[in-house]
Amino acid sequence: MPANLTPEYFKAEKWFRAAATTEEKILALERMLAVMPKHKGTDHLKADLRRKLSKLKEAPVKKERAKHIDVFHVPRSGAGQIVLLGTPSSGKSSIVAALTNAKVNVADFPFATSAPVPGMVRFEDVQIQLVDMPPITADYLAPGQVGTYRNCDLIAMVIDLSADVQEQLGICLDFLESRNLLIDGETPAVDGQGNILAKRAFCICTKSDIAEPGALGTLKKLCKRRFKFVEISAETGTGLEELPAAFFRLLDIIRIYAKPPGKPADMTEPFTMPAGSTVMDLATAIHRQLAEKLKFARIWGTGVYDGQNAQRNHVLNDKDIIELHFS
C-alpha cells in the first residue's frame, strides 16, 4: 500500500468495497482515482484501479441485473420519492408509520429495519412516496443501500434530538458527502450517462418530546449547510402535520390541471412536474409525439388573466389550469 493515501481515499475505498452494483463500483473507483495523491508512489495503484475501472465499464450490465432482485431498488410512485437516512433508532420507521399505511417495524432496539419499505403520504391532491430505510453507522452500511439514495428525489436525514446530534449529523453527512450524494452549489455531479448523482436533502429532527435542551439549536449551529430543519415528535404528533407540505415544497414540484378544449378541467388528478416547467414540457409529458404539433395553450392561474393565450416557453405555476391546442 503506497504511503500518503488520504482519509478521503480510504472513504472512497470503503464505498467501493460496500458497493453492490457495477454502477456504484464505477463511481467509487472514479472517486478513488480523483482523490488519490499524485506522486510516484501511487503509480502502481493508479494503474491497477484504472484496469479495474475499464473492466467494470466493459462488463455487460444486463446479465448482472437478471441474476438477482435488488431489494434496494424501490420503484418510484407518486409525485416524488423521499428516502429517509439516519442512525439506528433515530425514529425513521416511526415517521413512516405515522404518515403512511405502510407496514413498518418500529422497535425499541436498533437495526429493526433491514430493507427499504415505501409508503405513500398525501399532500392535498398529490401522493408523495416516503421510503423507510435500514440505519447507517460510522462503519455499517447495508450492501446496495447507496443505490436507493442514488435514485430518489430528496433525502430526509432523521436526527434524534434526544441523542448525540453532532455524532448523527457527522455520520449522515460523511455518508452523503463521501459518495457525492449531496448537491453542492449550482452544478450537480453527473455520471457518464448524464444522470444527476447528487440530491437535495433536509433534516427531520425528531423526538422533540424528549429532546435534550437546546439540541435543535446546537444542530443548526453545527450544520454549515443551509438545510431546512423540521422539528417533530412521532410520539405526541407535534409537527407531523407540517411534514406533507414541507415534503411538497422541498420536492420543488408544481401541479398542473389539464383542461380539454370546451370542457371543464380535470381537477382530480394533477400532472406533477419540476418547478420551472413550461407549456411545452407539459405537452411532452402528456404525449411526446403530439407535443411537436402544439399550436398554442390557454391558461387559467397565476400571473395571467383567465384563458390567456400562452407560448410554448411560458413558465407554469403551481395549480395552473392549461388547455392545450394541437394542429
Ligand X SMILES: Nc1nc2c(ncn2[C@@H]2O[C@H](COP(=O)(O)OP(=O)(O)OP(=O)(O)O)[C@@H](O)[C@H]2O)c(=O)[nH]1
Binding segment (CB under 5 A) for Mg ion, from list 88-96, 192-200, 259-267, 297-305: 88-96
**Cβ atoms 86, 158 nearer than 8 A:** yes
**Cβ atoms 165, 90 nearer than 8 A:** no
- Kindly determine how many residues on this chain lie close enough to bind Mg ion according to the rule CB under 5 A: 4
Q: Return the residues of window 160-219 that contact ligand X according to CB under 6 A.
A: 206-207, 209-210
Q: How many CA atoms lie within 13 A of 70 on its CB side?
A: 19
Backbone angles phi, psi at 308, to 5 degrees: -60, 140
Binding segment (CB under 6 A) for ligand X, from list 22-30, 103-111, 212-220, 284-292: 103-111
| DSSP-assigned letters across all residues of 11-33 | HHHHHHHH--SHHHHHHHHHHHH
Residue 90 interacting with ligand X (CB under 6 A): yes
Min separation Cβ 161 and ligand X, Å: 9
152: left (phi over 0), alpha (psi -120 to 50) or beta: beta
Residue 88 interacting with ligand X (CB under 6 A): yes
Question: What is the distance between the alpha carbons of residues 158 and 114, in angstroms, rounded to a whole number?
Answer: 17
Look at residue 7 and give its three-state secondary structure: helix
The correct pick among 42, 93, 100, 178 for binding ligand X (CB under 6 A) is 93
Residue 94 interacting with ligand X (CB under 6 A): yes
The correct pick among 234, 243, 250, 273 for binding ligand X (CB under 6 A) is 234
Min separation Cβ 264 and ligand X, Å: 44
Residue 113 interacting with Mg ion (CB under 5 A): yes
The correct pick among 59, 107, 190, 196 for binding ligand X (CB under 6 A) is 107
Identity of residue 198: A
Residues in the chain: 327
Identity of residue 237: G
The correct pick among 87, 90, 93, 148 for binding Mg ion (CB under 5 A) is 93
The correct pick among 89, 100, 129, 272 for binding ligand X (CB under 6 A) is 89
Q: Which helix (H) or strand (E) holds 149?
A: helix 145-150
User: Where do contacts with ligand X occur on this chain (CB under 6 A)?
Assistant: 86, 88-94, 106-108, 110-113, 135, 206-207, 209-210, 233-235
Residues that bind Mg ion (CB under 5 A): 92-93, 112-113
